[in-house]
């Protein structure tokens, strides 16, 4: 039974009480609302993000904002919000990780070419909590912490506002790239929706049911409750594993496995004579695709007038995701397998449970010394627990358990805000608008230890095979659980104050500025600013721009996460450690205290608004100093000797979080829409958006001095990490959407063009290996060390265009939609493949010996075409 935190229980009890109250309230029907045009399509759309002085239209904002109505998000047939945003917001990208445990179900989005840590998520303008899971996988967002977008049902949303501009001075730390504000629906009436779909390759089936009801609360209030249930089946695009699975035979006994492509099927040499079982084993052993999951979520949004200008509001919800992700297959002849339990090997399964709960409550008023005010308190909790099944702890021998709880994380955030606004009359012009506010926030981070069986060394040696009698690897495969030494409980607090002024200096010129002071208990003070302006050249044309500074304090998970993994080298245990920077071991290797990121953001743009055409162009530059990243993995016998001499034997590899680099990101966003009336043939809306961005690494911290003194030249942030940062997200992205409407019919045809991406596939290939690996692939070569004949191989994956099509028919209060995502079944280019030629040169390819054909950094996934049908009904 999973342990339950006090905070989760308290919030869940509050939400259950709210739902019980709602169940006794009569439902009042409301007429269905009309359809809303696509994102960036309507210049008259009203937004609240980016300003403390009430709502304004998109084209009147001094900074670029995308507005995506909930109807547009729901139409696309995507289960996850971030997948919809990927095709609707030009500079928003998110990858589709696999085999990463709980990280398969949390997103690492990138806005304007930056990472998840530089993006702030709000709900109704209030800061949303993140997860407590540090991304240590080799995917987008490595070394960062993301959000659980699945916690809020789409049915709860009225719209999504994306501010593509630095906003730390307005909203606080983290908003370096921009802000996503989830604006909750507050309408009356009820609706229900059911969707089903599957991949046309015969897997990946999905289903969703959602419903919402808004009921009156008093004379002027509303309580709206939204529910959602989702189920997703697994998809798989892995290839058969042709490697040797069982020990080979020879005159002297069993032989170790060959790990080469084709060594079990006769394509390449085997180790010894092949076991007869090689001819009969089902070689479809690996999984590459979307992980199966079940989830539910509930959200409540309520507000009510209390008289005398007072208004009470509250919103919050709870969610759960239960998912399973596959690990890499352990072949029968590997030392990681207890063959008495798994004679044919095994594929471990990671179980992940993600729980979220949140509650915000506040009061608004307009009569305090002529100030309008808003007082609120928000509390949110993320809880992640992980298990492993179909596995073993080899050091327990035949008595090994096959499943265990491996540990988890807890992250809680309590945020309190008081915001006030007032207008001051000015002679001869518009009033001066003033906004001020204070914030107090506490954050809690806990890392929970796993079951002892998940990490202990049972001291039973390897039972059989060529290495029989040697020490066995301790801990459950593939990754031992969190040890009590790695478990911890940390917290911090911060306080902030800001002041913002805005005035329409002339009929044409709007100018605003913000100053913010913020102080963290662990990182001290920061001061940020923002200046923003808009100048109307004519009724159709306007210029806009902003200049701001940004601040990001390291997440608690970045400061304190740690983990251990033990392998054996020449029969001796070797531990690989991810260490917090305050660890004595990390200090010996040159780690220093983390510092906050600091940034400067410059944005300049132009907007054209005509009767039928709207175009916006915004160029930006974001310079970040002391960017937080996960270091290279330092592994060398000289490092092990240094640590052993200082009382830390058996440590073979170490990595830690660090302020490794300074970067500059430059880019341009273009959005446009055109409305064409076709008379009796209906109306056509054309929406277009584009983003181009590049990230340059201006400075990389040198090899830490204690390592350089040993003669080690591994940089603090190696080329693998650098390429992931600069090229794992597409530098170019274009979106073209066509929406045709006639009477009850609506057709949407959206096309998203993703530019090329890249990843470092080999860090040290000799000339013969380069010659065998690279023909037919787009690659760039970098010397392993200056003057070396060996090369690091960067593989580039071509740009691709993915098209989505759906058709809707409105019949009274019901709407039926059928559609297809990735209509033309587009796949990314393949990883550099293993072949007999590469094996002859002494290496496999970049496809895990032939089993993983597609890159995990693909910006649109690797599962191909899906089809779906959806029925919506408004009561």
- The per-residue pLDDT for range 118-169, each reduced to its tens digit, is 999 999 999 999 999 888 877 778 888 888 887 899 999 999 999 999 999 9
What angle is formed at CA 529 by the lines to CA 111 and CA 602, rounded to 5 degrees? Answer: 45
pLDDT score of 206: 94
- Residue 161 and residue 57 in contact, taking contact as beta carbons nearer than 8 Å: no
* Band (59; pLDDT cuts 50, 70, 90): low
Mark 555-591 as b/e (b = at least 16 C-beta within 10 Å): bbbbbbbbbbbbebeeeebbbbbbbbbebebbebbbb
pLDDT score of 52: 64
Which helix (DSSP H) or strand (DSSP E) does residue 780 occupy? strand 778-783
Q: What is the DSSP letter of 352?
A: E
Q: How far apart are CA 180 and CA 167, in angstroms?
A: 11
Lowest-confidence segment of 66-80, 328-342, 460-474, 778-792 by average pLDDT = 66-80
* CA neighbor of 739 nearest in space, from 728, 730, 751, 757: 751
* Band (54; pLDDT cuts 50, 70, 90): low
Residue identified by tokens 């911890």 is 488
Considering only residues 228 and 47, tell me which one the structure prediction assigns the higher pLDDT.
228
- Residue 603 and residue 545 in contact, taking contact as beta carbons nearer than 8 Å: yes
The percent of residues above 90 in pLDDT, for the chain, comes to 69
Query: pLDDT tens digits, residue range 520-572?
Result: 999 999 999 999 999 999 999 999 999 999 999 999 999 998 877 655 444 45
pLDDT score of 650: 74
The strand ranges marked E within 309-466 are 310-326, 349-368, 371-389, 404-424, 432-448
End-to-end CA distance of the chain: 40
Tokens representing residue 550 in the block: 């940004």
- Which residues does 392 contact at the CB level (< 8 Å), separation at least 6? 337, 338, 341, 342, 346, 400, 401, 402, 476, 477
The percent of residues above 70 in pLDDT, for the chain, comes to 92
* CA neighbor of 365 nearest in space, from 418, 309, 317, 325: 309
pLDDT score of 574: 53
Tokens representing residue 807 in the block: 């058709």
Mean pLDDT, the chain, rounded, equals 88
Q: What is the pTM of this model?
A: 0.89
pLDDT surpasses 50 at 10? no
Lowest-confidence segment of 91-105, 315-329, 540-554 by average pLDDT = 91-105
Q: How far apart are CA 691 and CA 110, in angstroms?
A: 13
pLDDT mean over 630-653:
85
pLDDT surpasses 50 at 31? no
Tokens representing residue 744 in the block: 């009850």
pLDDT score of 783: 93
pLDDT mean over 806-833:
95
* Band (648; pLDDT cuts 50, 70, 90): confident
Output the furthest CA–CA distance in the chain (Å, rounded): 102
Residue identified by tokens 């398969």 is 104
pLDDT surpasses 70 at 37? no
pLDDT surpasses 90 at 736? yes
pLDDT score of 29: 30
* Band (214; pLDDT cuts 50, 70, 90): very high
CATH class entry, domain 6-241+284-874: mainly beta
pLDDT score of 141: 80
Q: How far apart are CA 804 and CA 749, in angstroms?
A: 6
pLDDT score of 74: 77
- Please return the burial class of 606, using the count of CB atoms within 10 Å of its CB with bins 0-12, 13-18 and 19+: middle
- Please return the burial class of 44, using the count of CB atoms within 10 Å of its CB with bins 0-12, 13-18 and 19+: exposed
* Band (48; pLDDT cuts 50, 70, 90): low
Query: pLDDT tens digits, residue range 293-319?
Result: 999 999 999 999 998 889 999 999 999
* Band (5; pLDDT cuts 50, 70, 90): very low
* Band (375; pLDDT cuts 50, 70, 90): very high
* CA neighbor of 92 nearest in space, from 215, 177, 170: 177
The strand pair at 92-93 and 110-111 is best described as antiparallel
Q: What is the DSSP string of 603-641?
A: EEEEEEE-SSEEEEEEEEEEEEEEEEEEPP-EE-HHHHH
* Band (49; pLDDT cuts 50, 70, 90): low
pLDDT surpasses 70 at 30? no
């Amino acid at each position: 039974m999973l342990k339950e935190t006090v905070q989760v229980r308290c919030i869940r009890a509050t939400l259950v009480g709210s739902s019980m109250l709602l169940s006794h309230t009569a439902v009042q029907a409301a007429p269905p609302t009309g359809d809303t045009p696509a994102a960036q399509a309507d210049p008259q759309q009203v937004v609240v993000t980016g300003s403390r002085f009430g709502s304004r239209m998109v084209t009147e904002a001094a900074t670029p904002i995308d507005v995506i109505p909930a109807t547009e998000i729901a139409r696309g047939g995507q289960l996850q919000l971030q997948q919809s945003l990927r095709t609707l917001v030009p500079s928003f990208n998110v990858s589709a990780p696999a085999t990463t445990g709980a990280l398969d179900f949390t997103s690492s989005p990138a806005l304007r070419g930056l990472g998840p840590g530089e993006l702030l998520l709000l709900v109704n303008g209030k800061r949303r909590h993140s997860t407590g899971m540090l991304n240590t996988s080799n995917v987008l967002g490595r070394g960062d912490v993301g959000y659980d977008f699945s916690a809020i049902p789409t049915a709860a949303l009225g719209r999504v506002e994306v501010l593509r501009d630095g906003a730390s001075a307005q909203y606080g730390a983290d908003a370096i790239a921009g802000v996503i504000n989830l604006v909750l629906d507050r309408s009356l009436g009820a609706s229900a929706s059911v969707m089903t779909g599957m991949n046309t390759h015969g897997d990946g089936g999905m289903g969703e049911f959602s419903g919402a009801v808004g009921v009156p609360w008093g004379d002027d209030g509303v309580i709206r409750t939204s529910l959602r249930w989702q189920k997703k089946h697994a998809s798989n695009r892995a290839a058969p594993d042709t490697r040797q699975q069982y020990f080979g035979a020879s005159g002297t006994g069993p032989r170790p496995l060959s790990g080469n492509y084709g060594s079990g099927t006769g394509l390449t040499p085997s180790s010894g004579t092949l076991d007869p079982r090689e001819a009969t084993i089902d070689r479809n052993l690996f999984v590459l695709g979307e992980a199966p999951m079940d989830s539910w979520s509930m959200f409540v949004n309520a507000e009510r007038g209390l008289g005398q200008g007072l208004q009470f509001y509250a919103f919050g919800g709870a969610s759960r995701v239960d998912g399973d992700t596959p690990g890499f297959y352990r072949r029968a002849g590997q030392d990681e397998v207890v063959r008495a339990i798994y004679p044919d090997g095994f594929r471990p399964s990671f179980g992940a449970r993600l729980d979220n709960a949140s509650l915000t409550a506040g009061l608004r008023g307009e009569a305090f010394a002529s100030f309008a005010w808003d007082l609120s308190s928000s509390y949110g909790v993320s809880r992640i627990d992980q298990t492993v099944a179909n596995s073993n702890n080899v050091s327990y021998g035949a008595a090994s358990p096959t499943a265990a709880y491996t540990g988890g994380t807890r992250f809680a955030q309590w945020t309190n805000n008081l915001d006030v606004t007032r207008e001051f009359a000015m002679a001869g012009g518009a009033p001066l608008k003033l906004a001020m506010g204070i914030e107090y926030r506490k954050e809690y981070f806990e890392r929970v230890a796993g079951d002892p069986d998940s990490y202990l060394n049972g001291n039973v040696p390897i039972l059989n095979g060529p290495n029989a009698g040697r020490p066995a690897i301790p801990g459950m495969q593939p990754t031992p659980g969190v040890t009590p030494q790695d478990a911890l409980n940390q917290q911090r607090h911060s306080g902030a104050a800001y002041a913002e002024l805005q005035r329409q200096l002339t009929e044409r010129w709007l100018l605003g500025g913000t100053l913010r002071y913020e102080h963290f208990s662990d990182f001290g003070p920061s001061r940020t600013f923002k200046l923003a302006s808009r100048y109307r050249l004519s009724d159709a044309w306007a210029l806009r721009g902003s200049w701001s500074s940004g601040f990001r304090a390291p997440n608690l998970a970045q400061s304190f996460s740690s983990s251990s993994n033990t392998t054996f080298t020449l029969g001796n245990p070797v531990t690989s450690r991810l260490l917090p920077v305050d660890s004595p071991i990390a200090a010996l290797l040159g780690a220093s205290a983390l510092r906050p990121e600091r940034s400067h953001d410059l944005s300049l743009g132009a907007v054209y608004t005509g009767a039928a055409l709207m175009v916006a162009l915004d160029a930006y530059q974001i310079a970040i100093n002391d960017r937080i990243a996960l270091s290279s993995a330092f592994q060398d016998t000289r490092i092990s000797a240094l640590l052993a001499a200082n009382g830390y034997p058996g440590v073979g590899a170490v990595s830690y979080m660090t302020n490794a680099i300074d970067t500059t990101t430059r880019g341009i966003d273009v959005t446009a829409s055109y409305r064409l009336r076709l008379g009796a043939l209906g109306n056509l809306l054309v929406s277009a958006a584009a983003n181009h961005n590049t990230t340059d690494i201006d400075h990389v911290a040198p090899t830490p001095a204690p390592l350089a003194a040993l003669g080690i030249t591994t940089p603090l942030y190696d080329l693998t990490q650098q390429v992931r940062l600069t090229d794992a997200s597409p530098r170019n992205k274009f979106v073209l959407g066509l929406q045709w409407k006639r009477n009850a019919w609506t057709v949407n045809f959206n096309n998203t063009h993703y530019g090329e991406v890249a990843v470092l596939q080999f860090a040290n290939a000799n000339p013969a290996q380069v010659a065998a690996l690279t023909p037919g692939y787009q690659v760039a070569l970098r010397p392993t060390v200056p003057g070396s004949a060996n090369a690091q191989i960067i593989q580039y994956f071509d740009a691709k265009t993915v098209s989505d099509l759906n058709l809707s028919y409105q019949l009274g209060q019901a709407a039926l939609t059928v559609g297809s995502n990735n209509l033309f079944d587009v796949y990314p280019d393949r990883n550099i493949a293993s072949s007999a030629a590469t094996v002859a040169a002494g290496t496999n390819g970049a496809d895990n010996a032939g089993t993983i054909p597609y890159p995990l950094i693909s910006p649109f996934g690797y599962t191909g075409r899906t089809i779906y049908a959806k029925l919506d009904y408004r009561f």
